[in-house]
Structure 1
Amino acid sequence: MSLEIKNITFGYSPKQTVLADISFAVEENEFVSLAGPNGTGKTTLLKCMNRILRPQAGQIIFNGNDITGSRQQDIAKIMAYVPQYTNALRPMPVINAVMMGRLPHAQGEYSAKDREIVFSILQKMDIEKFAFRDIRQLSGGERQKVVIARALAQQPKVIILDEPTGNLDLKNQLHILKLIAGLCKTEKLAVIMSIHDLNLAAMFADKILMLKDTRIFTCGSPGNVITRENIASIYGVATAVTTEDGYKHVRLLK
Structure 2
Amino acid sequence: MNDFLNQIRLVADWLTSSAQWHGDEGIPARLLEHLTYSGLSLLCAALIGLSAGLLVGHTGRGAFAVASVANLARAIPTFGLVVLVVTLAGLSTAPVLVALIALAVPPILINTFEGVRGVDPATRDAARGVGMTEWEVLVKVEVPMALPLILLGLRVAAIQVVATATVAAYPGLGGLGRFIVDGLARNDYELVIGGSAVVVALALVVQAAFTALGRAVVSPGLRVSAPKS
Q: Taking structure 2 as the reference length, what is the TM-score of the superposition? A: 0.27
- Which one has a larger percent strand, Structure 1 or Structure 2? 1
- More helix by proportion, 1 or 2? 2
